[in-house]
Structure 1
Amino acid sequence: MLAITPTVRNLLILNILFYFIDSSVFSLKADFALRPVMSPDFHIFQFVSYMFLHGGIGHLFSNMFGLIMFGPLLERIWGQKRFLIFYFVTGIGAGLLFSGIGFYENWQLAKAVEIYTQNPTPDGFADFLSKHAEAYYEYRLQFVNDFEANPTNSMYIQQSIKDVGDVYANALSIPMVGASGAIFGILMAFGLLFPNTELFLLFVPFPIKAKYFVAFYGLFELYSGIQNAQSDNVAHFAHIGGMLFAYILLRYWGTQKSNFY
């Protein structure tokens, strides 16, 4: 492994420092995590600040491990300024893609809430939960059955309206944190610039070329993002966004041959 370069070292220090403050001094996530665009708590600066917050020590470790494994070589090739530009472009790009898809999903959810509120029925309630809050549906199964047995009861009607409103409010309250988008951008760059470099990975008993590793990871993240398991808290589309913006940026830099290195 190459010695840690200045920009990688500074990013490592900042991420660890902010994690320590957030976990031990006072919470930073309420203001600086990336909130859904439709949330009243959303601010434009969160597209940068979210990159320096993490959900736990394991989350921090995995991202920083990727940074120190693949970042130094890229910084040595590009220089500090270009590497830092790359890091922030891919991290912000990851947030933009994640937020764009989230905006569409929340807009669809808001429409579903409006439609249900105008015509609250037991079947409509069960259908809403099965489509938009499957885990919550299991939790509220007894209420669903009671509502079906009493479809004209105003108490059940009002409670069902409150429940669908709570599902929407919960969707707008879920933040995103982590440097994963930028790290996946770094991984993408490594795979594009050094495609035939063989990587030795934990739990894989044979070396794998960087280009295949990156392709597999990208396809896995795309599949996971489309599946969108509600029990899965991983921001897969942010990972894809980091890789996508890395590809675009490298292709752009590739047209600027005199300025690339």
Structure 2
Amino acid sequence: MNEPFEPRPVLFPPVISFLLIANGLVFILQLFAFEPLLVNFALWPVGTPDVIEQNGEMVWVPQFQIWQLVSYGFLHGGLLHLFLNLFAMWMLGVQLENAWGSRLFAIYFFVCVVGAGLIQLVVASYGVLNAEIYPTIGASGGVFGILLAFGMMFPNQRLIFILLPIPIKAKYFVIGYGAFELFAGITGTIAGVAHFAHLGGMLFGFLLIQYWRGRLPIRPRRRVLRW
């Protein structure tokens, strides 16, 4: 009797491979042209003045452009920032892409990146009112969306946090990490980290998963995810 065919998991599926290569190549490009890339492709707040006074001189301020909601996710602030994002993306994302297929995974990842960007845009644009103007870069919004999906799909699989080498079930890991991000965002803990962008990636990822599962008032024509 023939056994049902089960495809072998792919270690580097297409979308994950593209993201790893694209982020790596952009980081190399940053080594030679960081300033132009930051000005044009980082996520800048809405409502910034064209120029500001800095040290007695008038300085031009980069402006928000719609493509920045995607492009900011391919820029990183350093080698450690890049490594942590890409390692988590590969370690967790491979299992999701193998389970969902490349098309669904690509849609999910970029929805999380854009969703994280929208939340961060609100936060950063509010900061403009207090004369705080800064760009946002990094794929962390998409990575946190992947983390949330992994915790929902594989809740009992154990994960180990780099700074706390104790195996924790994915569902508790996600809840704990999300709670920490919310606390850190509200209190301003760990300055320079876009905590609300991380939460935005998780929020938009959760909403998309619930939509695909037919659990929102607006439903797809057919259920896309059935777990």
Tell me which amino acid in the other structure corresponds to 1:38: G
Q: 1:203 to 1:49 in 2, by over 3 A?
A: closer
For the residue of structure 2 that corresponds to 1:207, the secondary structure is strand
- Name the counterpart of 1:180: 140
- Name the counterpart of 1:127: none
- Name the counterpart of 1:114: none
Match status 1:237 vs 2:202: no
- Name the counterpart of 1:103: 125
Identity of aligned residues (%): 45
Structure 1 residue 5, shift from structure 2 partner:
1.1
- From 88, 99, 110, the equivalent of 1:88 is 110
- 4+ residue runs over 4 A deviation: none
- Name the counterpart of 2:213: 254
Higher relative contact order (CA 8 A, sep 6+): 1
What TM-score results when the alignment is normalised by the length of structure 2? 0.82
- Name the counterpart of 1:221: 181
Q: CA RMSD in A?
A: 1.8
State the structure with more CA Rg. Answer: 1
Q: Distance in 2 between matches of 1:234 and 1:88?
A: 20
Aligned length: 198
Q: Confirm or deny: 8 A CA contact 2:97 2:105 kept in the other structure.
A: yes
Q: Deviations over 1:18-51 (max 9, x none)?
A: 0110123453111110001112411111111100
- Name the counterpart of 1:191: 151
Structure 1 residue 203, shift from structure 2 partner:
4.5
What TM-score results when the alignment is normalised by the length of structure 1? 0.71
Q: Deviations over 1:166-225 (max 9, x none)?
A: xx2xx22x1000000000000000001111111233343432100100011000000000
Q: Deviations over 1:83-116 (max 9, x none)?
A: 1111110001001011112223433x2xxxxxxx
Between Structure 1 and Structure 2, the one with more helix by share is 1
Match status 1:16 vs 2:38: no
Match status 1:74 vs 2:96: yes
For the residue of structure 1 that corresponds to 2:164, the secondary structure is coil
Match status 1:33 vs 2:55: no
Q: 1:2 to 1:203 in 2, by over 3 A?
A: farther
Q: 1:228 to 1:200 in 2, by over 3 A?
A: closer
- Name the counterpart of 2:3: none
Between Structure 1 and Structure 2, the one with more strand by share is 2
Structure 1 residue 64, shift from structure 2 partner:
0.1
Structure 1 residue 228, shift from structure 2 partner:
1.8
Q: Confirm or deny: 8 A CA contact 2:212 2:223 kept in the other structure.
A: no
Q: Distance in 2 between matches of 1:75 and 1:83?
A: 5
